[in-house]
């Protein structure tokens, strides 16, 4: 070990919330999987100099100091590609046709398992202690990703070929990491480094010292701000008595429906994040119906957490966990897809108008930290509960779809949000060329992930039909 680095306060909460906090990225390629030795050599060549990939998380010391001590990063001399590039996993297909066939904790060793099952087992498993918390998993036997939101009529009317099918015999690379180490943009940057062509310059973000100028604390004002920020939202609709299951559903959303939604008066210039938020709200409504209280009033809205990338143009390729988050109410009570899209665009426009500092959850965490470790512990307990945000949405764009790995063309990309506590579901969407790939990570009743993925596609279909 060379030296030690403090975690940022937000990253520290990610290590203390009792969750695996594994995030991921899946890249789908045509052709045969490269030899494992070749892949490990490419990882060593392209990623070996990245400081961020050499950090090992060390827990607080044992004994009394564990109550006040804090975890830290230990900077090591390097990583072992044979340890971090896992043996090849075999899958039988993209997804289980029967949701009841999903087996929680599947490690992918059984070739009868699906890609969805394999990923679900990885997301609920903490990263091994004592080594940098990231892994690359090669997957052979990927036959395709299920398409949802079938709008062939829109495709054919515009003369656009259907590009959703994945050739049989393709493969996938699944990059997994602890969220405190890397965020979604960092995973995307690492994949770009791995592909053919010259490597893009990167810079590993190392946490800065936490010391801030001491200011007088207005305790009453701070408590009011924390209570307002942590005010509970509504629970995820669905059967409350059903046990929660870890599930992942991957699906391809037709790019024509996305373009059609953006051609609506309410969708002109809409971002993928706005469309995903709209479709998540509609999916909850179509999958579970309109929710009301016992006296007939609308139930409290489900709150959605949306990451905000804090990078600038100059730091676009910086590696680390450089995101904040905002919380907004999902407009699931709004009756039509058109009105939901309008509402979601207004919500995110208001968020952007407040400015970056007002969006930064770090502001709240830093203020709470000045009140003592017990306040941070309280925030960790409340901030990661389903009542704070039962839904998460993450939208990313891959800006260079014409690329390959050892001359094997890249087909599409999927982002894997973390698995949160029972009663939550997270949606991730990545635009890559003329495809948009959806990932639903569910910790709810059995079958929820696939049902909600299909519902997102249906919501896009309804929007496209209004053109």
Q: Tell me the pLDDT tens digit for each residue of 248-291.
A: 999 999 888 888 888 877 767 889 999 999 999 999 999 988 66
In whole angstroms, give the CA distance from residue 203 to residue 296: 54
**pLDDT score of 212:** 44
Radius of gyration of the chain from its Cα atoms, rounded to whole angstroms: 22
418 pLDDT band (50/70/90 cuts)? very high
Distance set, CA 88 to CA 34, 59, 119, 225 (Å): 10, 31, 13, 49
Percent of the chain with pLDDT over 70: 74
Helix (H, G, I), strand (E, B) or coil at 152: helix
User: How many whole angstroms separate alpha carbon 271 and alpha carbon 31?
Assistant: 32
In sequence order, the 6+-apart residues with CB closer than 8 A to the CB of 30 are: 166, 167, 170, 408, 409, 411
**Which pTM does this prediction carry?**
0.86
CA 330 – CA 199 distance, rounded (Å): 40
Q: Are 431 and 276 in contact (CB under 8 A)?
A: no
CA–CA–CA angle 275, 280, 284 (5° rounding): 150
CA distance 136 to 43: 9
The 10s digit of each residue's pLDDT in 326-380 is 889 999 989 899 999 999 999 998 888 766 555 556 666 766 666 666 676 777 7
The closest alpha carbon to 121, from 419, 456, 433, belongs to: 419
Q: What is the pLDDT of residue 393?
A: 97
Nearest to 418 by CA among 11, 20, 13: 20
The pLDDT score that the predictor gives to residue 453 is 96
Between CA 129 and CA 297 the distance in angstroms is 48
């Amino acid at each position: 070990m060379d030296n030690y680095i403090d975690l940022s306060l937000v990253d520290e909460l990610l290590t203390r919330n009792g969750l695996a906090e594994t995030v991921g990225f899946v890249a789908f390629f045509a052709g045969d999987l490269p030899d494992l030795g070749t892949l490990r050599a490419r990882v060593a060549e392209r990623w070996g100099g990245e400081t961020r990939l050499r950090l090992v998380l060390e827990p607080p010391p044992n004994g009394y100091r564990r109550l006040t001590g804090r975890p830290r990063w230990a900077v090591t001399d390097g990583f072992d590609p044979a340890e971090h590039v896992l043996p090849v996993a075999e899958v039988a297909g993209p997804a289980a046709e029967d949701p009841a066939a999903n087996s929680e904790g599947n490690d992918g060793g059984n070739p009868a398992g699906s890609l969805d099952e394999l990923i679900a087992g990885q997301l609920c498993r903490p990263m091994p202690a004592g080594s940098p918390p990231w892994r690359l998993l090669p997957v052979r036997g990927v036959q395709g990703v299920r398409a949802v939101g079938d709008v062939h009529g829109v495709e054919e009317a515009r003369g656009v070929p259907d590009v959703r099918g994945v050739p049989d015999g393709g493969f996938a690379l699944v990059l997994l990491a602890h969220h405190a180490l890397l965020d979604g943009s960092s995973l995307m940057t690492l994949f770009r480094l791995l592909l053919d062509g010259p490597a893009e310059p990167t810079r590993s973000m190392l946490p800065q010292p936490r010391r801030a100028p001491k200011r007088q604390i207005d305790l009453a004002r701070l408590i009011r701000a924390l209570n307002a920020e942590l005010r509970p939202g509504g629970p995820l609709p669905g059967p409350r008595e059903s046990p929660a299951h870890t599930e992942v559903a991957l699906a391809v959303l037709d790019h024509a429906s996305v373009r059609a939604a953006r051609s609506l008066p309410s969708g002109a210039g809409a971002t993928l994040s706005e469309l995903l938020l709209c479709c998540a709200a509609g999916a909850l409504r179509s999958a579970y119906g309109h929710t009301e209280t016992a006296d007939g009033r609308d139930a409290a809205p489900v709150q959605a957490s949306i990451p905000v990338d804090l990078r600038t143009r100059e730091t676009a390729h910086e590696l680390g966990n450089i995101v904040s988050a905002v919380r907004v109410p999902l407009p699931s009570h709004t009756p039509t897809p058109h009105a939901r899209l309008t509402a979601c665009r207004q919500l995110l426009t208001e968020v952007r108008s407040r400015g970056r500092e007002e969006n930064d959850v770090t502001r709240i965490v830093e203020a709470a930290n000045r009140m003592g470790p017990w306040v941070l512990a309280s925030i960790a307990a409340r901030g990661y509960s389903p009542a704070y945000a039962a839904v998460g949405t993450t939208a990313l764009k891959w800006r260079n779809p014409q690329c390959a790995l050892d001359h094997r063309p890249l087909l599409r990309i999927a982002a894997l949000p973390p698995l949160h506590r029972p009663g939550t579901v997270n949606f991730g969407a990545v635009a890559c060329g003329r495809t948009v790939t959806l990932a639903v990570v569910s910790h709810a009743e059995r079958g929820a992930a696939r049902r909600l993925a299909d519902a997102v596609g249906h919501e896009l279909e309804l929007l496209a039909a209004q053109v």
